[in-house]
Structure formats: C-alpha cells, structure tokens
C-alpha cells in the first residue's frame, strides 16, 4: 500500500492511501504545491472537476483548501472502488465519484467548472482528444482554469492560453485559461 500526504488546507498532513498500480500516477508533492499556490486566490468556493482521478489527491487538496464541490471521473473500476474507500473517512458530501470515461462524462454533464484537473495516462491520446473540446462542450467559461500534467511539452489547442507553466524532471505541467475573445463588432 502506498500513501500520499495532503499538503495544505484543513486536512494538511493527513495521509491517504491510493491504488498502487501503474495506471495510478499521483502528482508529486512539489508539483501539487506549485499548482495550489497558482490557484491560491481561486480555489475557495470553486467547483472542481478531476478527470482521470487516479488517487483523487488533486480533488482532496482542492476540498481541503475550501473548494465547494469536486467531481472525480475514473474509468478503471478497481481504481474507482478504491477511491470510494479513500473518500469515506473524510465524512463529507460535497463530491461526486463517477465511474466512466472522461469523454462520456463530458458529453453528459451540464455543469460548468471553475477548475478542471487533467492528468491522463501518459502516452495516450486523451489530451489531444479532450482538451480542444472543453469550450464546445460548455464545461468551462471565460474564468475557468484547466490544469494539465503531461510527460512532454503540450501541443496547445486553439482557444486556450498558457496562464502558468512548470517542469519537474520529466513532468510538464500547465495552468491554462480560455483565450479572451475580442469583439470585432463596431458601434454605430
């Protein structure tokens, strides 16, 4: 059994166990600390979506820091079942665990999220397929932030801009935001 420690907020220092298999690759402490420093002024009261939930640590960090709700999507049934047992001791109800694919969830949800965490399996086409669709699917608005973690530099889709970025060893991580659309209509 492997453990992670929540690094900030109300549950700072609390350990959680996670499903210790190759498909679960939690964000390193240093990366999580940087990410939540970036989100410091935006996390309180935020509605968060963690696609490719894995350990669930990003949602737990967000909830620990005052996010109002987190939705976690995980396609692996064994990992999903482990997430259920991970969240149970927290005795909270402001989260949803969904067993299914990111693509299917995004097509069925009607929610808009303030923060989306995307840390898909490395060497998959998930980022290339899902990231460009976020605006079209209506899950983000002009104030939303999208966190992306990858093992190679990001091929940024049209409509999104890099807000912050970093690198830790072989991990590239980004905080993206929708590009602002400048109106070309003239006033008469």
**pLDDT tens by residue, 101-119:** 999 999 999 999 999 999 9
Q: 172: domain CATH number?
A: 3.40.50.150
Expressed in percent and rounded to 5, the helix, strand and coil fractions of the chain are: 25, 25, 45
Mean pLDDT, the chain, rounded, equals 88
User: CB-side exposure of 60: number of CA atoms within 13 Å?
Assistant: 27
Confidence of residue 185 (pLDDT cuts 50, 70, 90): very low
* % pLDDT > 90, the chain: 65
Beta bridge partners of 175: 147, 164
Q: In 10 A of CB 183, how many CB atoms?
A: 6
More confident call, 14 vs 184 = 14
Structural domain contains residue 185: no
Global pTM?
0.90
Structural domain contains residue 188: no
Structural domain contains residue 118: yes
Nearest to 168 by CA among 55, 31, 3: 31
Structural domain contains residue 183: no
Nearest to 20 by CA among 78, 97, 88: 78
Range of the domain at 155: 2-178
Q: Which residue has 């086409």 as its token pair?
A: 125
Structural domain contains residue 101: yes
**What is the largest distance, in Å, between two alpha-carbon atoms of the chain?**
67
Overall number of domains in the chain: 1
pLDDT score recorded for residue 74 = 95
Q: What's the pLDDT tens digit per position in 86-103?
A: 999 998 999 999 999 999
Copy the structure tokens of residue 133. 């669709």
Structural domain contains residue 28: yes
Tell me: pLDDT of 82 over 70: yes
Copy the structure tokens of residue 162. 């890099």
Structural domain contains residue 187: no
Burial class (CB in 10 A: 0-12, 13-18, 19+), 8: middle
Whole-angstrom Cα Rg for the chain: 16
pLDDT score recorded for residue 29 = 78
Confidence of residue 124 (pLDDT cuts 50, 70, 90): confident
Q: What's the pLDDT tens digit per position in 149-173?
A: 998 999 899 899 999 999 998 889 9
């Amino acid at each position: 059994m492997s453990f992670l420690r929540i690094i900030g907020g109300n549950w700072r220092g609390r350990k959680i166990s996670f499903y210790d298999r190759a498909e679960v690759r939690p964000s390193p402490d240093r990366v999580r600390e940087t990410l939540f420093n970036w989100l410091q002024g935006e996390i309180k009261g935020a509605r968060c979506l963690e696609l490719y939930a894995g350990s669930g640590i990003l949602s737990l960090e967000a909830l620990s820091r005052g996010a109002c709700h987190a939705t976690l999507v995980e396609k692996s049934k064994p990992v999903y079942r482990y997430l259920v047992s991970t969240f149970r001791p927290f005795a909270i109800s402001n989260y949803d665990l969904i067993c299914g694919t990111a693509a299917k969830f995004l097509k069925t949800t009607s929610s808009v999220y303030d923060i989306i965490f995307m840390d898909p399996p490395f060497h998959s086409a998930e980022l290339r397929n899902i990231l460009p669709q976020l605006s079209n699917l209506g899950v983000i608005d002009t104030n939303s932030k999208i966190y992306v973690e990858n093992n190679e530099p990001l091929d940024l889709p049209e409509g999104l801009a890099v807000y912050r970025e970093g690198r830790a060893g072989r991990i590239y991580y980004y905080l993206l935001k929708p590009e602002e659309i400048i109106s070309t209509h003239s006033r008469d």
